[in-house]
Structure formats: C-alpha cells, structure tokens
C-alpha cells in the first residue's frame, strides 16, 4: 500500500503532524521533493521536533525513512539535523537512506538564491534562501551534482570545477560578489562525504522491492499544491512538484503503485512569503488568528499571512492531486469565533469565477465571495470521536466536504498526536 500525504494550500498545513500520526501503521516514510525549505513539526510527549529534511516518521524507532531522488539536499543542513537527532538518542543506522540520484545543494546555490531574489526588487518571491530553486535549476541545466557523483571524489571535483567556472564568472562579473574556491569547497565536502556515504542507496530499487513485499509506504509531500511549480500561483511558487504526481518522479515508483492520496488542509488558510492570497485578513483579525494558531514559519520564523478557508483552492487541489480524502487540521484555532467564513468563489471585475484561474493577473485581482457559518464557541480538545464534536463544528466540516467534493478522513484538534479524530 502506498499512501501519499500532500499539502492542499500554500504549505504548513500540518503535514508533519498528520504524517507522524499515519506513520504508526506504515513501514517506510519517504520524502519525494523539496529540501530544507520545508519545516514539518511533530510534537510527542510535549517535545517538539521540526524536520527540514529528515522524514517525519523518524521518531518511531522501527520505521525506515528515505529521501528520494526528487529531494535536494544541503549536506550541512542534513548533517546538522542528524546530529540533533543523535543527541536525542534517535538512531538512524540501517533505517535512514538517501537516493544516489538526489541533487546536492552547494554553497553557491544558497548565495545565488538570496542574491537573485533580492535583485527582483518589488517582484521578490520571498524564498527561504536555502538554495532550493538554484539547485533544481542546475539539474535542468545539466550542471547539477548528484550524490552518486559526489561519492567519487575525482568525479565530484571535475563536476565542481566546471560548475564553479560558470558560477564564479556570474558572481564576480555580474553580481560583483565573492567567488568560491574549488579547494575550499572540496575540503568542506570531503568531511560531509565521510558522514553521508553510509546512508546512500538506490532508493527507487529499495522502494519497489518493498512494494513487492507488501510493505506500507507513506510518501511525505513538502510545501503544498499552490506552491507547485506547474499548478501553483506561478511565479510565486517553489521549484518542485509537491503535488501527488511528484511522487512518481521523486521516488521512482510507477503511478500504478499509488493507492491513496490524502490532502492536508488547514481549517483556514496561511501563506508565508509573497504572492496572491484572496482570502487574506487585512486587519487586526489576522493578528488574532496568527496568535491563536501560532502562525510563524517553522523554517524562517517569518510571520505567516492568515485568511479564511478557500474552498475554490482546495477543490482545485482535489482535482490535480486526485485526492482520496482530506485531513483537516487546526480546527481548534477557530474555537472562539462567532462566525466563520468560507470562500466559495471569486469576483473578478464584473464576472463570477468558481474555479481556480491559472492566470496570475486574474487570480491576483480576485475578490472572494464568502459564505458565512456560525462558530461553535467550544473547546475541542479531548474529543476522540466525530459524533462528540459540536453540531456546528460538524456543519463546518460538512460544508468543506460539499464544496471541495472530497470526504474528510482525519480531523486534527491540536498539535499533539493524540489530538486526532479518525473518521
Ligand atoms: P507542515 O509544514 O505542513 O508540516 O506544517 P508546520 O509544522 O510548518 O506548521 C503547522 C503548525 O501547526 C505546527 O506548529 C504544528 O505543531 C501545528 N499544528 C498541527 N496540527 C495542529 C492542530 O490541529 N491544532 C493546532 N493548534 N496546531 C496544530
Ligand atoms: P512546508 O513543507 C510554506 C515558500 C517560501 C516562498 C516560496 C519559494 O513546511 O509546508 P523556496 O525557498 O522554496 O524557493 O521559496 O515557497 N515555501 C514554503 N511555504 N511551507 C513550506 O514548506 C515552504 N517551502 C517553501 O516561503 O514563498
Ligand atoms: Mg512547514
């Protein structure tokens, strides 16, 4: 059984929490895209972990965790995460593997990501500055360095030499920045090589053999549908395919092997970084929700922009991901509200639109059309069964199901594992 967990909004939907919850019935958790731009929070026994690269199933000592070829890895970030886990006595030997085909982030990728975003001026994307877009770009430019090449020092140095020729020219002549030394990077990366090589395998082969043996695999998506390079609010997106389709190319498993796709949706909407966001709160109410939901980025600490639930977006996410069901998170954040709004369509100029427009120009001028439902004004913590939820909470959830045309299979009422209701 292969299950995919994918974000249906702009990331930070609570995928980490949902993956940690679902991982208990799985054998393998595998990340298929993104890199250290992700921040997935898992809280167990009042201890909080934020995973950037390591899959969110790592806290179970018997689960295998994998970084597929579609992930981009900054070795320094990965090793720092590994070292933090070791301090917590979490063992990774023989249960954490990284793909031979995965692309490495080099120091110039991070610098160029930051410089290029700044140079956009008012059109700045607000990237995480982790070198994500620049690493993926080098893959497509056939200039990237894969782990399998990195393991052979001679091959690595030759690839790095060619890459540095181009990068240093750009940095020096165009951006008037510092240049990188082949020797310095080689020295730094030699240390990383020694620490990383024990984890490297052919992850596609491993996963396909596991599927044949009947193992349960959870594919962990990072970011979300509207940050997808092809289906998101382009150009305000990330540089990979967080949508479920990314699982095949990012793990090397065929589409016929995927059984279920679970879309994670926050009970409202957030976005970090720039880009259009029709239901965004423009007043102090946004501050209130940010405070109630503790909406600050898990990777950069930036305040997240907050807004009402946008059913047009989640319905579109259901289509492009082929969602089997929805996991609705952070329902408890709405506990104190008298009224809750849901965007059911948009108004653009004089027209009504009821689907996600691909045109950035149109989407950035869309005004949401809202439907209002009464709030439940009750605590939800401790509720273990759907039937014990307040009637008004059930009505809100039912409306989400109707508007998005997807059934809800999981509800999250708090950040801890136990604050979860299965339907
Ligand atoms: P991810 O990137 O999708 O994994 O989400 P993040 O971890 O970046 O952000 C989600 C935040 O919401 C984290 O701080 C979680 O601990 C928290 N969280 C997850 N589910 C719930 C929930 O149901 N209620 C509340 N109050 N917090 C939640
Ligand atoms: P998780 O997995 C929310 C956003 C950045 C920026 C845009 C491009 O925790 O949900 P990038 O560095 O990827 O080139 O930045 O994407 N972004 C995220 N927003 N959650 C994430 O990951 C994100 N990863 C990237 O803020 O707007
Ligand atoms: Mg996050």
Top-level class of domain 264-422: alpha beta
pLDDT for the residue 362: 97
Span 240-249, pLDDT tens digits: 999 999 999 9
131 pocket-lining for ligand 2 (C-beta < 6 Å): no
pLDDT for the residue 381: 87
Distance CA 180, CA 189 (A): 13
Residue appearing with tokens 């498993």? 253
Report CA-CA distances (Å) from 16 to 189, 258, 297, 417, 421.
30, 20, 13, 10, 16
- pLDDT of 45 > 90? The answer is no
**Of 13, 135, 113, 10, nearest in space to 69 by CA:** 135
| SS3 state of residue 366 | coil
| SS3 state of residue 276 | coil
- The count of residues in the chain is 423
Same fold, 103-196 and 264-422: no
| DSSP notation for 34-61 | B-TT--EEEEETTEEEEESSS-TTTTST
In this structure, the residue with its CA closest to atom 27 of ligand 1 is: 415
* Mean pLDDT of the 278-296 span: 95
* Mean pLDDT of the 75-96 span: 96
Q: Are strands 408-412 and 420-422 parallel, antiparallel or unpaired?
A: antiparallel
| DSSP notation for 94-160 | TTEEEETTPEEP-HHHHHHHHHHHHHTGGG-----SSSHHHHHHHHHTT---BHHHHTSHHHHHHHH
Q: Domain 2-100+200-262 belongs to what topology?
A: Adenylosuccinate Synthetase; Chain A, domain 1 (3.40.440)
Ligand nearest to the CA of 224: 2
Span 168-212, pLDDT tens digits: 999 999 999 999 999 999 999 999 999 999 999 999 999 999 999
Mean pLDDT over the full length of the chain? 97
| Ligand 2 mutation pick, 77, 270, 272, 297, max ligand atoms within 8 A of CB | 272
Token pair, residue 322, equals 């082929």
| SS3 state of residue 410 | strand
Strand partners, 58: none
Q: Are 373 and 394 in contact (CB under 8 A)?
A: no
158 Cβ contact list (under 8 Å, min separation 6): none
- pLDDT of 299 > 90? The answer is no
125 pocket-lining for ligand 2 (C-beta < 6 Å): yes
Catalytic residue annotation: 12, 40
11 pocket-lining for ligand 1 (C-beta < 6 Å): yes
| SS3 state of residue 265 | strand
pLDDT for the residue 192: 98
20 pocket-lining for ligand 1 (C-beta < 6 Å): no
What confidence tier does 146 reach under pLDDT thresholds 50, 70, 90? very high
In this structure, the residue with its CA closest to atom 16 of ligand 1 is: 415
Distance CA 334, CA 338 (A): 9
127 pocket-lining for ligand 2 (C-beta < 6 Å): yes
**Of 311, 367, 380, 322, nearest in space to 344 by CA:** 311
pLDDT for the residue 219: 98
Question: Domain map of the chain by residue range?
Answer: 2-100+200-262, 103-196, 264-422
Q: Are 51 and 40 in contact (CB under 8 A)?
A: yes
Architecture per CATH, domain 103-196, reads as Orthogonal Bundle (1.10)
Is the pTM here over 0.85, yes or no?
Answer: yes
pLDDT for the residue 144: 97
Q: What are phi and psi of 376, to 5 degrees?
A: -95, -20
């Amino acid at each position: 059984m292969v299950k995919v967990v994918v974000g249906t909004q702009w990331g930070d939907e609570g995928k980490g929490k949902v993956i940690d919850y679902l991982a208990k019935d799985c054998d393998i958790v595998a990340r298929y895209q993104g890199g250290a731009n992700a921040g997935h929070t898992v809280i167990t026994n009042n201890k909080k972990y934020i995973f950037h690269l390591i899959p969110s199933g790592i806290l179970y000592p018997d689960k295998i965790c994998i970084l597929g070829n579609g992930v981009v890895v900054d070795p320094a970030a990965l090793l720092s995460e590994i070292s933090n886990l070791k301090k917590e006595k979490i063992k990774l030997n023989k249960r954490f593997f990284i793909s031979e085909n995965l692309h490495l982030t080099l120091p110039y990728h991070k610098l160029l990501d930051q410089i290029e975003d700044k140079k956009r001026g008012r059109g700045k994307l607000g990237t995480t500055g982790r070198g994500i877009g620049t690493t993926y770009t080098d893959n497509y430019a056939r200039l990237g360095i894969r782990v399998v090449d990195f393991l052979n020092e001679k091959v690595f140095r030759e690839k790095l030499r060619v890459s540095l020729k181009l990068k240093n020219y750009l940095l020096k002549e165009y951006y008037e920045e510092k240049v990188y030394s082949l020797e310095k990077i080689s020295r730094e990366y030699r240390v990383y090589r020694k620490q990383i090589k024990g984890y490297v395998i052919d992850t596609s082969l491993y996963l396909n053999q596991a599927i044949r043996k009947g193992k349960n695999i959870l594919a962990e998506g990072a970011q979300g549908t509207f940050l997808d390079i092809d289906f998101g609010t382009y150009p305000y997106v990330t540089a990979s395919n967080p949508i479920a389709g990314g699982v095949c190319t990012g793990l090397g498993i065929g589409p016929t092997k995927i059984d279920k796709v679970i879309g994670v949706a926050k009970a409202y909407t957030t976005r970090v970084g720039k880009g259009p966001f029709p239901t965004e709160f423009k007043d102090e109410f946004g501050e209130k929700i940010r405070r109630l939901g503790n909406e600050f980025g898990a990777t950069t600490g930036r305040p997240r922009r907050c807004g009402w639930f946008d059913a047009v977006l989640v319905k579109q996410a259901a289509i492009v991901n082929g969602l089997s069901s929805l996991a609705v998170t952070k329902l408890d954040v709405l506990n104190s509200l008298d009224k809750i709004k849901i965007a059911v369509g948009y108004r653009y100029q004089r027209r009504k639109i009821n689907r996600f427009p691909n045109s950035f120009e149109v989407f950035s001028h869309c005004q949401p059309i809202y439907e209002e439902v009464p709030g439940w004004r009750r605590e939800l913590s401790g509720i273990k069964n759907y039937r014990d939820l307040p009637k008004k909470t059930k009505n809100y959830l039912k409306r989400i199901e109707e508007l998005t045309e997807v059934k809800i299979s999981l509800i999250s009422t708090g950040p801890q594992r136990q604050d979860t209701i299965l339907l």
